[in-house]
Structure formats: structure tokens, C-alpha cells
């Protein structure tokens, strides 16, 4: 009983800390075919239990019956959009907020959402 309560406490504390954008993609089952894993939007087959990162910086995993994906990045909000611009780096899956007129100068960001 103590173990269950401890797990529930960890879950209750961690859920508000995670703010990722997630989605589920149900598998399209073809009748009569053996299922070896999940096919992503590009048609690539991923084994059950495997994980991967997409070109658009989503961390996905394959489980029986679905693919679940969550953003691996935070999106900036609450910065001066008149003076600054956000630039997304697909290699690092991060945003950089810089002045429109001088990209060497970073702008302060008050909030990040996932």
C-alpha cells in the first residue's frame, strides 16, 4: 500500500511539471496482416517498444495499437514580438529569441510552453 501511495505522489508531483504537447496516433490495422510494429507518417516501420525523434522534434514511441508523440521543445511566449523574432533550430530542437534588427542580441522571454 505504501508503494502505491508513493507512486501516486510522484505522479501527482510530476504531472504539473510536464507541459509537453502530445498526441496519439491509432494504428491502421489491415485485416489478415501480421503486425510487427508501428508505421509512422513517412511509412517507416518501428518495432513495438521502440522510440525515435521525428524531423519536427517530436519524441515518439510505438506500443501495441498506437504511436504516441510529445514535443521535445518549449515554445517561447511573452516576449516583445514587435522588437524580437523567434528562430527554431531543428538540429537542437530549441528556439532562440533575438532582436529582428540584430540577431546577435538575445531578447528576454517571460514564458515558455510545451
Structural domains counted in the chain:
2
Task: For residue 10, tell me if it sits in a domain.
Answer: no
29: pLDDT strictly greater than 70: no
Domain that holds residue 103: 75-113
pTM to 2 decimal places: 0.67
Q: How is 42-92 classified by DSSP, letter by letter?
A: T--EEETT-EEE-TTSEEEEEETTEEEEEESS-EEESS-TTTEEEEEETTT
User: Minimum mean pLDDT among 21-35, 66-80, 100-114: which range?
Assistant: 21-35
Task: For residue 2, tell me if it sits in a domain.
Answer: no
Percent of the residues in the chain that have a pLDDT greater than 70, as a whole number: 76
pLDDT at 42: 86
Amino acid at each position: 500500500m505504501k508503494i502505491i501511495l508513493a507512486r501516486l505522489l510522484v505522479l501527482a508531483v510530476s504531472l504539473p511539471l510536464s507541459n509537453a504537447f502530445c498526441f496519439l496516433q491509432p494504428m491502421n490495422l489491415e485485416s489478415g496482416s501480421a503486425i510487427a510494429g508501428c508505421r509512422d507518417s513517412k511509412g517507416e516501420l518501428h518495432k513495438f517498444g521502440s522510440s525515435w525523434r521525428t524531423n519536427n522534434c517530436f519524441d515518439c514511441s510505438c506500443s501495441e495499437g498506437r504511436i504516441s508523440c510529445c514535443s521535445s521543445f518549449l515554445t517561447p511566449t511573452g516576449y516583445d514580438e514587435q522588437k524580437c523574432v523567434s528562430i527554431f533550430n531543428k538540429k537542437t530542437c530549441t528556439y532562440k529569441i533575438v532582436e529582428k534588427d540584430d540577431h546577435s542580441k538575445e531578447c528576454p522571454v517571460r514564458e515558455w510552453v510545451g
